[in-house]
Amino acid sequence: MLETVFFDLFAGLSVIAGMGVVLARNTMHSVMFLIFCFFNAAGLFFMLDAEFLGVIMILIYVGAVMVLFTFVVMMLEINTARLREGFLQYLPVGGLIAIVLMIEFIGAASSGVFTSGAMATAEHLPQQVNNTVEIGQILYTKYLLGFEIAAIVLLVALVGAVVLTLRTRKDAKYQKIAAQVNVRKEDRMRKVRM
Amino acid sequence: MSGWDMAAQAGIWALEILAIAVPVALSVAYITYFERRVIGWVQVRKGCNRVGWAGLLQPLADGLKLVLKETIIPTTSNKYLFIAAPIISLVPALVAFAVVPFGETTLFGLWDVMHVMSISNLNVGLLYIMAISSLSIYGILMAGWSSNSKYPFIGAMRATCQMISYEISMGFGLVTVMMLAGSLNLSDIVHAQQGGLLHWYMIPLFPMLIVYFISGCAETARTPFDLVETEELVSGYYTEYSGMWFATFSLAEYAAMILISLMTSILFLGGWYAPIPALDFIPGTVWLLGKTAFLIFVFIWFRATFPRYRYDQMMRLGWKVFLPWTLAWIAVVGIFIYTPGLDSIINFWMPWR
């Protein structure tokens, strides 16, 4: 009962936030709606006993990826008048996709898979079952190769990003912090007899 | 579950939340008083001592003044986000307290087993704290952007860069705690440090304690790192704010400071355990709050002692000193755990193994 209430809350709010992302005129408002949407998705993960995934969702998507999004959106200069120019041009294709999706949704909803009796109702796991441990164990044993490949790809991307942006100017002056710290009074000051 | 049960459950939750949020708000008010008195003492002057006995009513007077001041919303600002920004920065600071365990109790023998005194004893408590406290960036970014003015915008960029940089070394520092405790549950981490001063994680992880606490200073923009909001750099991201909305930002900052102090006590200073097991007759909550109060004093002490960092020096400290340091310490702890012979040393701090 309480669970259904919370499910409806999170699911409803994430749908509303998702609509806000698309419909908001201001791109900054869209970003905020997207963040709110991720939050509600994390709430849904929590309700499925997947607390690790829920927290990681907030930590990675909201805490890191969306900050990057926000930065990029802030730096963009958006011309609203030009943005609306192509509206009629894209309307037929966009409308067609929307209609096809709508038909699919109605078909799926009325197919009987989602009726209340057909859904699996699993019991909640006790608190002793720690899904962080479970995910760690399966990730580092069964899927170790995939995990390592992902790690190498990320490392290459990281090094590549650093190499692409690293420019050292020979004529610029750089500080040597160690030399600054090591300086003594005698090096800089001398007594002058007047 | 019937409607009445749900109502009762909601009532219990509301009481639990109030039991945490109200003391936090009150202690924020009195930390400002404490701060002014301590800095006054350090600088050999009086501090506030006029309102009430020894100035004890000063925070209330300040609060009243801030409430009565006019809130100015700039006409060219983005109004929704301008109003939302202080709330976005305050809410994560308070929500993070949901998983903090304040001690263990049997409620004067009413329960048979010890219960952890927290709103939610989450299995991923440590990650939750990291995730929620990383959200306060949005309040700052929104405040700077929605003000539609160049100094707040520059200030917001500077603050965001600072918070992102120090979050990384903070997270890596916590990885070593996870390695020793073998759990992300905050009460399990405290349990792993049972048995007196020598079992506390400040002994094997002393460099991480330093990194975590200094990074906490940078995260909450406290003094050596307060260049994001200092007056001489045009108050950073909240230049355009006034009255109660301005106060909301400092409320969030002080709440974050309490949280960092609480987390440092829980993760490195043995949580609710006494330094000597013989002293455990004093309730654990007293020990935890005492350690926290000491760390808050250290924050204020920093403020009275250290000059402000320059921006490039601060970035250098975060990326070139703390990050390699924490990564090296992760490797050291890992080698200790898995090398035969050395693992008998580290097992002293890993009782669950």
**Interface predicted TM-score (ipTM):** 0.84
Which segment of A44-48, B114-118, B285-289, B324-328 scores lowest on mean pLDDT?
B114-118
Between the alpha carbon of residue A1 and those of residues A10, A50, A163, B5, B214, the distances in Å are: 14, 20, 55, 11, 46
pLDDT at B353 over 80: no
pLDDT at B325 over 90: yes
- Using an 8 Å CB-CB cutoff, list chain B residues near A58: 131-132, 135
- Hey, what amino acid is at B239? T
A158 in contact with chain B, both atoms CB, cutoff 8 A? no
DSSP A115: S
Of the two residues B316 and A124, the one the predictor is more confident about is B316
How many whole angstroms separate alpha carbon B216 and alpha carbon B221?
8
Residue B350 confidence (pLDDT): 86
DSSP B281: G
Q: Where along chain B do its domains lie?
A: 1-68, 70-349
- Which of B123, B134, B137 faces A59 most closely, judged by CB atoms? B134
- Using an 8 Å CB-CB cutoff, list chain A residues near B152: none
pLDDT at A125 over 80: no
Element (H, E) at B24: helix B3-42
B141 in contact with chain A, both atoms CB, cutoff 8 A? yes
Give the gap in angstroms from C-alpha B127 to the nearest C-alpha of chain A.
7
Q: What is the pLDDT of residues B53-110, one digit of tens each?
A: 888 898 899 889 988 988 888 888 888 889 999 998 899 988 999 999 988 877 777 7
pLDDT at B111 over 70: yes
For the packed helices B243-268 and B284-305, what is the interaxial angle rounded to 10 degrees? Answer: 120
Residue A116 confidence (pLDDT): 66
Q: Which residue out of B89, B129, B138, B187 would a mutagenesis test of the A interface target, given it has the greatest number of A Cβ atoms within 10 Å? A: B138
Give the gap in angstroms from C-alpha A186 to the nearest C-alpha of chain B.
23
How many whole angstroms separate alpha carbon B289 and alpha carbon B300?
16
Tell me whether residues B131 and A35 touch, CB distance under 8 A.
Answer: no
- Which of A52, A62, A175 faces B135 most closely, judged by CB atoms? A62
Of the two residues B257 and A172, the one the predictor is more confident about is B257
Tell me whether residues B1 and A1 touch, CB distance under 8 A.
Answer: yes
Residue B312 confidence (pLDDT): 83
pLDDT at A51 over 90: no
- Using an 8 Å CB-CB cutoff, list chain B residues near A56: 127, 131
Residue B311 confidence (pLDDT): 84
Q: Where along chain A do its domains lie?
A: 1-82, 84-114, 130-166
DSSP B192: T
Which residues, in sequence order, are bridge partners of residue B104? B116
Query: Mean pLDDT, to the nearest integer, of B292-301?
Result: 94
Q: Which residue out of A30, A38, A47, A67 would a mutagenesis test of the B interface target, given it has the greatest number of B Cβ atoms within 10 Å? A: A67
Residue A119 confidence (pLDDT): 60
Residue A88 confidence (pLDDT): 79
Element (H, E) at B115: strand B115-116
Residue A117 confidence (pLDDT): 64
Residues in A 75-134 with any Cβ partner in B closer than 8 A:
127, 130-132
Q: Which residue out of B6, B83, B135 would a mutagenesis test of the A interface target, given it has the greatest number of A Cβ atoms within 10 Å? A: B135
Say whether A68 sits in a helix, a strand or coil: helix
User: Nearest Cα to B208, choosing from B319, B322, B335?
Assistant: B322
A58 in contact with chain B, both atoms CB, cutoff 8 A? yes
Q: Provide the pLDDT confidence category of residue B300 given band limits of 50, 70 and 90.
A: very high
Q: Indicate the pTM of the whole model.
A: 0.88
Between the alpha carbon of residue B9 and those of residues A3, A8, A49, B12, B250, the distances in Å are: 13, 18, 20, 5, 33
How many whole angstroms separate alpha carbon B181 and alpha carbon B184?
8
- Using an 8 Å CB-CB cutoff, list chain A residues near B6: 1-2, 5
Q: Are strands B115-116 and B104-105 parallel, antiparallel or unpaired?
A: antiparallel
Q: What percent of chain A has pLDDT over 90?
A: 31
How many whole angstroms separate alpha carbon B228 and alpha carbon B233?
8
pLDDT at A17 over 70: yes
Mean pLDDT of all residues belonging to chain B: 88
User: Nearest Cα to B315, choosing from B225, B209, B223?
Assistant: B225
User: Nearest Cα to B190, choosing from B100, B255, B303, B65?
Assistant: B100
A70 in contact with chain B, both atoms CB, cutoff 8 A? yes
Which segment of A22-26, B55-59, B230-234, B238-242 scores lowest on mean pLDDT?
B230-234
Residue A47 confidence (pLDDT): 86
Query: Mean pLDDT, to the nearest integer, of B322-351?
Result: 90
Query: Mean pLDDT, to the nearest integer, of B279-285?
Result: 85
Query: Mean pLDDT, to the nearest integer, of B226-247?
Result: 80
Give me the total of CB pairs closer than 8 Å, taking one residue from chain A and one from chain B. Answer: 70
Q: What percent of chain B has pLDDT over 90?
A: 31
Mean pLDDT of all residues belonging to chain A: 85
Residue A80 confidence (pLDDT): 66
Fold of the domain built from segment(s) A1-82:
Four Helix Bundle (Hemerythrin (Met), subunit A) (1.20.120)
Residues in B 81-110 with any Cβ partner in A closer than 8 A:
81, 84
Query: Mean pLDDT, to the nearest integer, of B177-182?
Result: 90
pLDDT at B217 over 60: yes
Residue A42 confidence (pLDDT): 92
User: Nearest Cα to B270, choosing from B206, B200, B209, B208?
Assistant: B200
- Which of B78, B122, B138 faces A51 most closely, judged by CB atoms? B122
- Using an 8 Å CB-CB cutoff, list chain B residues near A4: none
Q: Provide the pLDDT confidence category of residue A121 given band limits of 50, 70 and 90.
A: low
